[in-house]
């Protein structure tokens, strides 16, 4: 036992605590900020088999469904506590005209999905179907409006259709299509990637257009819109500066987006999702940690123009982007999901938690069958990915109080480059329980981590869980036993207000304490 090893000298114990290489100091009594559950949000676009075959199979399908929506997918997403869902895009949003997706399905016009595979979009999944999905998931809808190829009138009427209880043409149209009461949709994106696929605009041109479109998106009844302006691509700090200076923050928009994808190599050749070596694993960890610098720098600009913290930073597209799986449509962005993706998920979620004063929502791309998906489907089968299990583990942080933490740790070094080996979040739930999630990015070495819980005198271990695998490229696939899942973890020793956690290599661990 631990105490037998140090028997004979309390000073030895103090010395060990002081020199531990891997140490987390958690201030349990200094928490002020709330980790919004909306940080754990998701994104679903009309892209590949995310919508069709992922969520939507139609009422006549042999796959068990409720009103055309797959029961297994809904059940799985409810299990991870999905708080919100962003739709219909993505690039698709700025060529989507919402009136094409309402009314009798056999009468809806078709369109060509020019961004994703050049396939015919039959619009059978539209506004009513999406909001039915959100109802089944018990999550908030986040609708991204068409600023690129649409008009202020079109966006204004969509908001009215969704939210108005008044006597009006849009209200009458909604009722004629079977929905008597307004939905009261709160979250509204004013365009998507307007610097790129959403119109190739300059920052100032977008700021002017965003203010114009925002003027005509009205509040109805007691519902207050939370409008998300299109923010910067990665480190375009000029875009952020322009929008915060000239976009009427807090008035025309209450949130501003940020997009950053972790790409191992180059956009032309991103690398395989499953066939990669340690060099590629290390590069992925290094590149995903760039999110810390991005958040810090963008928040600094936001603080300059919005010292009252009225505007939220909304990271509504993030995650790993690999090459598509061999033999699949390159425009469908179908990729497998390994333990490496799970590590990327935990690191980014820790960073969003860290900056939760500003980061009020995030949406991983994408929920089903696309990019860093939670779920993969194949006809009537479904697979939960390693990333899914990280999101399930991190449910403990939803709407919890962030506990300030300081980390001292080894580096994970590959050749001559290094990154911190540990990533962590500590929070306190409404019932007083403390949760610590720790990731060990080192694929070779376990880490004994000392956690000093300042502000409390005595702790007790309640439960723990772990996500890991035999290899960095372990993954779950159809027709085989899961290689990565959420399992019980007990390698925790508590002594007063401190605990030691023995972290296996390449693992994510959650510890619950009383």
Q: Which of 45, 129, 140, 193 is catalytic?
A: 193
CA dist., res. 141 & res. 360, Å (int): 15
Q: Which of 464, 466, 440, 438 is nearest to 451 (CA)?
A: 438
Structural tokens at position 135: 């109802």
Catalytic residue of the set 317, 415, 417, 482? 317
Active site residue 193: yes
Distance in angstroms (rounded) separating the CA atoms of residues 235 and 298: 8
Phi-psi region of 68 (alpha: psi -120 to 50; beta: other; left: phi over 0): left
Farthest-apart Cα atoms in the chain, separation: 83
Cα separation of the two ends of the chain? 22
**Beta strand pairing call for 84-87 and 140-145:** parallel
Is 452 noted as a catalytic residue in this protein? Answer: no
Q: Can you state the angle between helices 339-354 and 290-305, rounded to 10 degrees?
A: 20
Query: Among 443, 451, 432, 442, which Cα is nearest to 510's?
Result: 451
Q: What is the dihedral of CA 34, 318, 328, 472, to 10 degrees?
A: -80
Answer whether 459's CB lies under 8 Å from 496's CB: yes
**Spacing of C-alpha 298 from chain mean position:** 18
Active-site residues, by number, are 193, 317
């Amino acid at each position: 036992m631990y105490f037998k090893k140090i028997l004979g000298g309390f000073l030895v114990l103090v010395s060990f605590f002081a020199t531990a290489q891997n140490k987390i100091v958690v201030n349990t009594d200094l928490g002020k900020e709330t980790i919004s559950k909306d940080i754990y949000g998701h994104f679903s676009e009309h892209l590949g088999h995310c919508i069709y075959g992922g969520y939507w199979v139609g009422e006549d399908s042999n796959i068990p469904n409720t009103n055309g929506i797959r029961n297994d997918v809904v059940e799985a997403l409810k299990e991870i506590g999905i708080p919100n869902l962003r739709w219909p895009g993505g690039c698709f949003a700025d060529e989507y005209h919402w009136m094409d997706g309402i009314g009798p399905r056999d009468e809806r016009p078709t369109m060509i999905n020019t961004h994703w595979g050049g396939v015919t979009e039959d619009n059978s999944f539209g506004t009513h179907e999406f909001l039915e999905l959100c109802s089944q998931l018990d999550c908030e809808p986040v609708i991204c409006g068409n600023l690129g190829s649409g008009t202020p009138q079109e966006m204004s009427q969509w908001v009215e259709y969704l939210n108005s209880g008044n006597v009006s043409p849009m209200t009458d149209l909604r009722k004629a299509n079977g929905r008597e009461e307004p939905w009261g949709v709160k979250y509204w994106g004013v365009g998507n990637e307007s610097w790129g696929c959403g119109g190739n605009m300059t920052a100032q041109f977008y700021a002017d257009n965003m203010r114009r479109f925002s003027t005509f998106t009205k509040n109805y009844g007691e519902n207050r819109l939370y409008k998300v302006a299109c923010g910067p691509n990665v480190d375009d700090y000029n875009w952020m500066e322009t929008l915060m200076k000239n976009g009427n923050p807090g008035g025309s928009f209450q949130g501003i987006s940020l997009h950053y994808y972790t790409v191992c190599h180059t956009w032309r050749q991103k690398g395989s999702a499953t066939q990669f070596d340690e060099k590629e694993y290390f590069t992925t960890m290094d590149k995903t940690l760039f999110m810390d610098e991005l958040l810090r720098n963008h928040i600094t600009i936001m603080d300059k123009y919005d010292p009252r913290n009225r505007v939220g930073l909304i990271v509504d597209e993030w995650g790993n982007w690999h090459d598509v799986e061999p033999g699949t449509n390159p425009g469908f962005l179908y990729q497998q999901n390994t333990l490496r993706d799970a590590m990327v998920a935990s690191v980014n979620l820790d960073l969003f938690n860290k900056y939760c004063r500003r980061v009020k929502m995030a949406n991983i791309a994408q929920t089903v069958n696309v990019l860093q998906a939670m779920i993969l489907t194949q006809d009537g089968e479904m697979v939960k990915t390693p990333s899914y299990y990280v999101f399930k583990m991190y449910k403990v942080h939803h709407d919890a109080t962030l506990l300030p933490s300081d980390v001292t740790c080894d580096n994970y070094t590959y050749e001559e480059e290094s990154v911190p080996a540990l990533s962590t979040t500590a929070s306190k739930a409404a019932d007083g329980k403390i949760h610590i999630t720790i990731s060990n990015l080192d694929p070779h070495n376990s880490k004994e981590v000392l956690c000093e819980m300042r502000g409390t005198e005595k702790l007790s271990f309640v439960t723990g869980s772990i996500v890991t695998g035999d290899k960095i490229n372990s993954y779950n696939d159809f027709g085989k036993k899961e290689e990565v899942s959420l399992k019980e973890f007990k390698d925790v020793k508590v002594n007063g207000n401190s605990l030691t956690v023995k972290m296996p290599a390449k693992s994510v661990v959650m510890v619950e304490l009383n």
